[in-house]
Amino acid sequence: MPNAKTLNMLQIYLFFTKARKNGHYDAVFLDTDNTILEGTRTNLFVIKDSTLVTPPKEFVLDGVIRQTLIATAQKNGFTVKEEKIPLSDLENFDGAFLTSTSTKILPLVKIDDFIFPEIPQKLKELMKMYDDFLDTSKGVFLDV
């Protein structure tokens, strides 16, 4: 139940702590089909040209940053698809990133053993667009 807020955060804390101890920013959860869901405290997106793909909201926490990023991307000409992302398909994307309140958009260099060689230009453009959105909205997300 990814959209249920709970006070029992022990499992998430343990995965996050283990990731940090091993020199990683976060741990990424997979489902039983080996598709990527989300991080312990983050949402995950992959990008190919001007298309963003993120797991369907029924499988992840549909947080405010995720929602406003999707809306901002669509407003600025990006296509956003909510679909499963098999871990084995990472090579088909230009890059990947995490979103959260504290990091906004954080490009990923590596997921498991797969390495993205560079931050895609379209992702850099999206980061700038989202920063501009945050600067102009001043924290009010009513008109995304």
Residues with a known catalytic role = 5
Q: What is the pLDDT of residue 90?
A: 95
CATH number for 88: 3.20.10.10
Range(s) of the domain holding residue 75: 10-137
Q: Which residues contact 83 (CB under 8 A, 6 or more apart)?
A: 53, 55, 56
How many domains are there within the chain?
A: 1
**67 assigned to some structural domain:** yes
**143 assigned to some structural domain:** no
**64 assigned to some structural domain:** yes
Asked if residues 97 and 85 have their Cβ atoms less than 8 Å apart, the reply is: no
Mean pLDDT by 10 residues, the chain (144 residues): 51 58 72 89 94 95 93 97 96 96 92 92 97 83 52
